[in-house]
Every structure is written in C-alpha cells, then in structure tokens.
Amino acid sequence: MQTEEAAVLKCFVIMGFGEKTDPATGRLLNLDATYHNIIKPAAQAAGYSCVRADEVLHSGVIDIPMYEMLLDADLVVADVSTSNLNAMFELGVRYALKPRSTIVMAESKFVNPFDTNHIIIRRYNHLGPEIGYTEVMKVRQDLTLLMNEIKKSIKPDSPVYSLLSYLRPPARKTKHTSPPAMDIERATAQDETYAALWQEAMAARAAGDFVKEKATLLGVYESQAVKSGDDENAVRPRVIRELAFATYKIGDEELEASPSAAAAAYEEAISYLQILEPNQTTDPETLGLWSGVHKRRSALPGRAADARLADLDTAIYAAERGFLIRQDYYTGINLAYLFDVRASISSGEYKIADRVFANRVRRRVVDAAEKALNSLPEQFEQTEDRGTKVMTLYWPQATLAEALIGLDDPRGEKELEKAKQMASATWMVDTTLRQIEDLKKLREA
C-alpha cells in the first residue's frame, strides 16, 4: 500500500522509444519493451508516478516541459542503450541540475563512451524485439529496490557534484517563477492521455484494423501540429512514421478491389514521410518506410514504365542507405529483392548490374543472419519464454533460407525446412514462401 507521500513522488524517464538500431552491434532493440515492462512498473512499485518524454502531449516546444522535469523530478531514470544522443544530453542536464536521485541503465552490449567510464551503469539483457520474462522480473525487482534506497540516500550520484563538491544546485527564487501549467504534475496527467491513445492505436494494429489505427494517430498528429502553431515539424517523428505506416497498409488492403484508392493511400503516406526529409535523414525507420511505400507504389496496376522505374530507384536508394546504417538481415534481404525487381524490367548491362548487386547483398545477408542465429542462443539463456525464442529465431532463419535460395545455394531448401519448424504461426511461413515464390519468378524474367 503506497503512502500519500510516496504517491506524489515523480519519476521522469529519458531514453529512446520504439525500435532503435544499436550502432555498435547493428542490433534492432525494442526500447518500449524496456520502458513498459521494466522501468515504469518498477517506478510504480516504488511509489513513483512515471512519465517518459514522448508521452507528454505538449503545447509548443518540448524543451520547456523537459527541462522542468529534469529539474523537478524526484527521480530520473536514463536508459542510454543504442547511444541515444538525446538521452545522453538530457542525462548531462540532469547531472548539472541535481546532485542525486539519477539512475543510469543500458542493455548488456552497450559500449561506454570514454568519459562515462566512472558512471555506474546498471545492465540488463535485451533480446532485440523482446526481453525475456525471467530477465524482466529480475531487473524490475532490482530496480524497485534501488529506487527505494535512493529515497533515503543523501550521497551524490552526479559526477558533477561528486567531483566539484563546492557546487550548490540551482533553486527557484519563489514558487511563482515556475511556468504555469508546465510542471511535471501536468506532464504526468497528460501521460495518461497520450499513453491511452498510443495503446489504442497499437491494439488496433495488432488486430489488423489499420483504419482505426490511422484515425487514432491522426488525432494525435493534428493535436500536436495545431498546438505548435500549425508547424508540422513540431509533430514527433514517431507519430508521423506510424501514421504513414498505417496509411500505406490501408492502401495494401484496398489494392485488389480499388487500385486507385490504393494509389491515393500511398500518395498520402508519402506526403507524411516527406515531413521527415527522407532524402537527408539517417533514421533507419524512416528510410525503411520510404523504401517500402515506393516499392508498393511501383507495383500498382497500370503504373507507367518510367514512373515505376523512378519508384524503384527511390526505394532502392533508401534501402541502400538503411542497410549501410544497420547492416541487418531484414533491410538487406529487402534491398536484394528490390534489385531483382528492377532487373526484371531492365535489359542489357543494367539488368546484369542489378543481378550482381542483388547477389552481393545476399551474401552479406547470409553473414548477418548467421551472426544473429549464432548470438541469439546465448542471449536466450536469460529467458524461459519459448514464444519469445521462436519469434526471435524464425525471421533470421527464414531470411537465411531466402538469401541462400536467391543465390542458388543448395543449402537454401534445408534451411527453409528448419525455419518452418520454428514458426509459431502459419502466416509466418506463408509470408516467407510467398516472398520466395515471387523471387523465383523475378529471377526467371
């Protein structure tokens, strides 16, 4: 039972959100799994209300409530996994503002920058798309205990105040100097609104209801844009990406019955992504969506040959950039497939070049998939959840099979049979078999 005093304690979490690529290892980590399964439940169990920056439905510049939270929060938890620059910056601000009550954590393969070697970073094992149940419960319990200990501690954990002991933390002159309605109490209340909308959108996606998902995300998108003076650039990139994804998935559903409706949906998705400047961005998620929607538009029935080729050029360029950043099997196998699609409508040296590029990429995909398959069993020692193991192992195994089949390597069919044994749902195998069948047809063209 929480006491009244404990219930008003505020915890602010600084970290990346969604799926992010770790630049040191090339792994794709679901940071939402860390927040929702470990950090937030641990904070609530220790008597803190908990909010993450992306959950705040702010009006105006996000910097204002962020700095307020970094100053006023009773506790800050910083997860610096994937070397997230925003999280690093915000951690530095917190260390400058507060002598104590800051926890730093990261997944086990995080590589410390040199200047952080003296900072205690609490580690946990992350499988990539998920975190094993056993690991979640262990880390959550340890984190709750640590949070409770911090309440009683007066020892500085900020390296600024530890090394420069003569410093005194900043304080407000009067309580009236705080900007009205911008404090952490309001942010925590807004957390409930934003989190509820986001969960509603993700539940709709899980149910395959992309129309509902889009409607929910569109409400968030329009709210952020209007409250920021109609500045679309103020809308969080994650909202724009997910809105674009839902929109072009609606296009996929419309494709068979109404190609014109599908074309309109793809155009709308492209218009959203253009806000994120896809020709300049280095964000792998944005590049993946930009590539995917142009790939889909290129396949529209009746698409003019020059327009189709232009779409494929755009899709390939975006996928190449994404693969250069991630070096992952998923982006790589899609890039190889795109080269084969373009080769199927080309001739002469252009056709030959794309076939060569496709096979070169597939060889790198084989290496990436085998590396993933070799490293995952070691990480699985941290989880007893068979569902997590199967879902995580299936896709690198299936991708390995597809890459080998594309290379006419006789091992491909054997690896495909292994993948079938790993699948936990028939749609997984159906997706793989359909992709391989399409690939074979392209290679014959």
Looking at 133, 155, 182, the residue that finishes a domain is: 182
3-state secondary structure 352-394: HHHHHHHHHHHHHHHHHHHHHHHHHHHHHCCCCCHHHHHHHHH
Number of folded domains in the chain?
3
71 with 115, same domain: the answer is yes
Q: Are 39 and 77 in contact (CB under 8 A)?
A: yes
Looking at 131, 161, 182, the residue that finishes a domain is: 182
pTM of the entire structure?
Answer: 0.67
Q: What's the mean pLDDT in 63-77? A: 86
Residue 351, pLDDT score: 94
Is residue 157 situated within a structural domain?
Answer: yes
Residue 186, pLDDT score: 52
42 with 174, same domain: the answer is yes
For residue range 274-324, list pLDDT tens digits in order.
999 999 998 888 999 999 999 999 999 999 999 999 999 999 999 999 998
Q: Is the pLDDT of residue 90 over 70?
A: yes
Write out the residue range of the structural domain in which residue 16 sits.
Answer: 9-182
Looking at 130, 163, 182, the residue that finishes a domain is: 182
Crossing angle of helices 63-72 and 184-206, rounded to 10°:
120
SS3 state of residue 21: strand
143 with 194, same domain: the answer is no
For residue range 150-207, list pLDDT tens digits in order.
988 888 889 888 888 888 888 766 544 444 444 445 544 454 566 678 788 888 887 8
203 with 149, same domain: the answer is no
Q: Is the pLDDT of residue 268 over 60?
A: yes
**Which of 56-60, 155-159, 213-217, 286-290 comes out lowest in average pLDDT?**
56-60
